[in-house]
Structure 1
Amino acid sequence: MNYQFDSALWPTFIVFFIGSCIGSFLNVCIHRIPQKVSIVYPGSSCPKCGKGIAWWENIPILSYIFLGGRCSGCKSRISMRYPIVEILSGSVALVLFYRFGISLQFFYYFLFLELLIVISFIDLDHKIIPDVLSLTGIVIGALISHFVADHGLFNSLLGIVLGGGILFLVAWAYFICTRREGLGGGDIKLLAMIGAFLGWKAIPFVLFLSALTGSIFGGILILVKGAGRHSEIPYGPFLSLGAAVYLICPNFEKFFLSLLV
């Protein structure tokens, strides 16, 4: 019996594979940026034993499976984060490909979502959002929006001011009332970056969905782990989720707007 690969599926496979390869590089960024070391040199190696990673050990997703999730040298366990980020990156590329095709918008929003992936995992691991990511994202998002995004430069600049300004006021009011720091400066810059890429109209939806999902997650954490009411929970991943949903699922955003009318 002859099996023939449907040629129509090749673009899907290629886009996902390239996206997952970029995801492999994102893992390097997630690991090294908080340590403030080069993301280019030296080459990838096991963080436990320092053994260099051969090319065949660096194939996205598949290498993790073939190696059984362990280093080929010291046999220490490899974090599940690595294939998860590769799958996420490949999926992001695929979704944007089917929405925008290979276009300037595709590359613009792919860069945006890849930045959000890196920021989210660094925030989860270290509870920080490096300025080198958020501030660079603000500049790139604003400058390129004039040429690529439908909302244009003015709405991008308004998004920066509105996104950063709202969270700054929330953080300031919380501190005045409780004398405790609620939101970090990284979250403020992240929402400003989201406003730069998506425009000011995205800000209300992103804030609503991030607050909703963050509250649900916090509630679950309290029930399951007995975390205190003031336990520190990274907010960056929830802001990133809200931005990704706004971009990828416009019908969901329209449903949200209908609830406000």
Structure 2
Amino acid sequence: MSLALLTALFGLLVGSFLNVVIYRVPRGLSVVWPPSHCPVCRGTISPRDNVPVLSYLLLRGRCRRCKAHIPLRYPAVELATALLFGAAGYTFGLGMDLARALVFVCVLIVLAATDADRRILPNAVVLPGAAAGLLLSFAADPAHWWVYLLAGAGVGAALLLLWLLYPGGMGMGDVKMGGMLGAFLGGYAALAVFLGALLGALVGVGLMLGGRAGRRSALPFGTFMAFGGMVALFWGRDIWEIYLGLLSGG
């Protein structure tokens, strides 16, 4: 069985746990106790109803006991985690680069979902994520350990300056997330932030043209930065080389 397939299957299981983190951490709840349960009827979810993606399909998106609707986000997170884990296994191969990529994917998925759902980037995810990013980056690329420190500090400082100049444009959670991106991506964190800002601008313009948002409507910048982080993780070097080629006229 290939590494990509193994990591994808592992991603399904991890995605199920990430759903717990996404729901509980912003609410200040423990992620280990009590066991998984329906938030409506409070009934414990049995193992047969907790199989990633498959259980959702068999239950037709409803709780077995009370028939409450199960948000589509649950299978979507599980499936997205599986696909991204599989892509990471295929791209990075077995080693510390893969370990760093898998942890990064988990952190980004959680932050993207919590910011989209509740407009929050929890410190309980961002700060441990930044610490894990530095440790894994030091282990994966010990010769350039200083790059990740400087990138984390530099991107965080740049976003902090923007927050001070335009306090309504983002929150401190976005600033901390920018530092975390640097811990995982090094210099490519700047690309992640740029892509996130570009996507956010495009979505904002689209919503305004469709009459679904105004100029002062709040958008989840952390969700867009998470998307930029995913792109930078898999294609950051390629994008940078294309950019340099355009500058040199090659």
TM-score normalised over the length of structure 2: 0.93
Mean alpha-carbon deviation: is it higher for 73-82 or for 217-226?
217-226
From 45, 50, 61, the equivalent of 1:53 is: 45
SS at match of 1:72: coil
Q: CA deviation at 1:257?
A: 4.3
Looking at structure 2, the residues matched to 58 and 130 of structure 1 have their Cα atoms a distance apart, in angstroms, of 26
Q: Which residue of 2 aligns with 1:104?
A: 96
Checking the alignment, whether the CA contact within 8 Å between 1:162 and 1:203 is kept in structure 2 is: no
Root mean square deviation of aligned Cα: 1.6
Q: Which residue of 2 aligns with 1:228?
A: 214
Q: CA deviation at 1:139?
A: 1.5
Checking the alignment, whether the CA contact within 8 Å between 2:61 and 2:71 is kept in structure 1 is: yes
Checking the alignment, whether the CA contact within 8 Å between 2:4 and 2:88 is kept in structure 1 is: no
Q: Which residue of 1 aligns with 2:226?
A: 240
CA spacing shift, 1:258–1:173, aligned 2, 3 Å: farther
> Structure 2: where are the runs of 5+ without partners?
none
Looking at structure 2, the residues matched to 174 and 72 of structure 1 have their Cα atoms a distance apart, in angstroms, of 48
Checking the alignment, whether the CA contact within 8 Å between 2:53 and 2:75 is kept in structure 1 is: yes
Q: Which residue of 2 aligns with 1:30?
A: 22
For each residue in 1:110-164, what CA deviation from the matched residue of structure 2 results, as whole angstroms up to 9, or x when unmatched?
0011101001100011101011111111212112322113773201110111110
Looking at structure 2, the residues matched to 205 and 29 of structure 1 have their Cα atoms a distance apart, in angstroms, of 27
From 193, 201, 207, the equivalent of 1:215 is: 201
CA spacing shift, 1:13–1:148, aligned 2, 3 Å: closer
Amino acid at match of 1:57: D
> Structure 1: where are the runs of 5+ without partners?
1-7, 176-180
From 64, 67, 70, the equivalent of 2:56 is: 64
Q: Which residue of 2 aligns with 1:3?
A: none
Q: Which residue of 1 aligns with 2:151?
A: 159
Q: Which residue of 2 aligns with 1:178?
A: none
Q: CA deviation at 1:205?
A: 1.3
- Asked if 1:204 corresponds to 2:196, the answer is no
Q: CA deviation at 1:24?
A: 0.2
Looking at structure 2, the residues matched to 184 and 258 of structure 1 have their Cα atoms a distance apart, in angstroms, of 35
For each residue in 1:213-248, what CA deviation from the matched residue of structure 2 results, as whole angstroms up to 9, or x when unmatched?
110111111122431101010100111111110111
Amino acid at match of 2:155: G
Q: Which residue of 1 aligns with 2:174?
A: 187
Q: Which residue of 2 aligns with 1:73?
A: 65
- Asked if 1:92 corresponds to 2:84, the answer is yes
Amino acid at match of 1:241: F
Checking the alignment, whether the CA contact within 8 Å between 1:70 and 1:78 is kept in structure 2 is: yes
Looking at structure 2, the residues matched to 255 and 60 of structure 1 have their Cα atoms a distance apart, in angstroms, of 38
Looking at structure 2, the residues matched to 110 and 257 of structure 1 have their Cα atoms a distance apart, in angstroms, of 28
Percent identity for Structure 1 against Structure 2 = 36
Checking the alignment, whether the CA contact within 8 Å between 2:6 and 2:86 is kept in structure 1 is: no
Checking the alignment, whether the CA contact within 8 Å between 2:77 and 2:109 is kept in structure 1 is: yes
Amino acid at match of 2:192: V
Amino acid at match of 1:41: W
Looking at structure 2, the residues matched to 131 and 31 of structure 1 have their Cα atoms a distance apart, in angstroms, of 15
